[in-house]
Structure 1
Amino acid sequence: MQTRLNQAQPYALGLFRIVIGLFFACHGAASLFGVLGGAMNGGSIPAGTWPGWYAAVIQFVGGILVMLGLGTRIAALICSGSMAYAYFKVHQPEALFPLQNGGEPSAVFCWAFLLLVFTGPGALALDRLFSRSGAERDKDRAAEPAPPVTV
């Protein structure tokens, strides 16, 4: 059973990345475009407002990048940092524990994205399409046996 679980690990990690990225992008879309309940009951955050609008842009763009698995580690690092900032600047001054200060989503997103920084994107990521250089692909093609030539 452990062998099967180990074989499935990249796919489970990929699914985790996709779901976390989707949820994070939804938060950004709600704040930027007033969808899904939007910021402040259906509204949107005015462009350029510090820090809310910038956080929403990070959430939306970063969430999409992580969901697609494109630049995953860098996008996840930025997303994690933005959630750490949100937690310590907005939530933590209200109370010590996330359950008391309403900062559970910020804390969970922060740690989830930090995990992706260290684990990478897992399976089903666009990063995999661009991770190998052209020289490596050419080397692999050269190592393949040539098809038989018929005359």
Structure 2
Amino acid sequence: MSARLNHAQPYVLGFFRIVVGLLFAAHGAASLFGILGGAAGTDGGTLDAGAWPGWYAAVIQLVGGGLVLLGLGTRAAAFVSSGSMAYAYFHVHQEHALWPIQNGGEPSAMFCWAFLLLVFTGSGAFGLDRLLVRRTATRGERVPDQAPVTA
């Protein structure tokens, strides 16, 4: 049983990355453009360009989520995204109450930890990172370090 689970690990990790990236990018798109059923601005519309910190957070969500979704620069995009969610939790939500269930910071906390996991695991299966690594390896060029995938 354990061998089968280990064999499926990169694929499950790839699906996890895709779902987390999609949800994060959708949140950014909703905040920036008012699409996908969301309107995150304080006036019920989109965020004003350059408004601190919301507009910058939404750009990180859209771009970082898109990169994670595609599995392109996954570790770097996940690192920046995790940091932005840590900032959101500690500087936006925690001032209202200590626990995420009390202060509305559950999504920020969950995204923060999910992206931190991806920093250490990499993109898993189905990511563009892996395609680029394979293409580089077939040309005989130096291959960047990747987390080992257990088979």
By the TM > 0.5 criterion, same fold? yes
Alpha-carbon RMSD across the aligned residues, in angstroms, is: 1.4
2:115 to 100, 109, 113: 113
Provide the secondary structure at the position in 1 that maps to 2:61: helix
For 2:138 and 2:96, the matched residues in 1 are separated by: 54
Match of 1:144 in 2: none
Match of 2:4 in 1: 4
4+ long deviations beyond 6 Å:
none
Provide the secondary structure at the position in 2 that maps to 1:10: helix
Match of 2:40 in 1: 39
Provide the secondary structure at the position in 2 that maps to 1:131: helix
1:96 to 86, 95, 98: 98
Percentage of pairs with the same residue: 70
1:138 positional shift = 3.8
Q: Which amino acid aligns with 1:137?
A: T
- Give the conservation status (yes or no) of the 8 Å contact 2:27–2:38: no
Gaps of at least 5 residues in structure 2 are 141-151
Match of 2:143 in 1: none
| Pairs aligned (count) | 138
TM-score of the superposition, structure 1-length normalised?
0.87
Match of 1:86 in 2: 88
Gaps of at least 5 residues in structure 1 are 140-151
For 2:40 and 2:65, the matched residues in 1 are separated by: 17
Q: Which amino acid aligns with 2:45?
A: G
Match of 1:26 in 2: 26
1:42 positional shift = 5.3
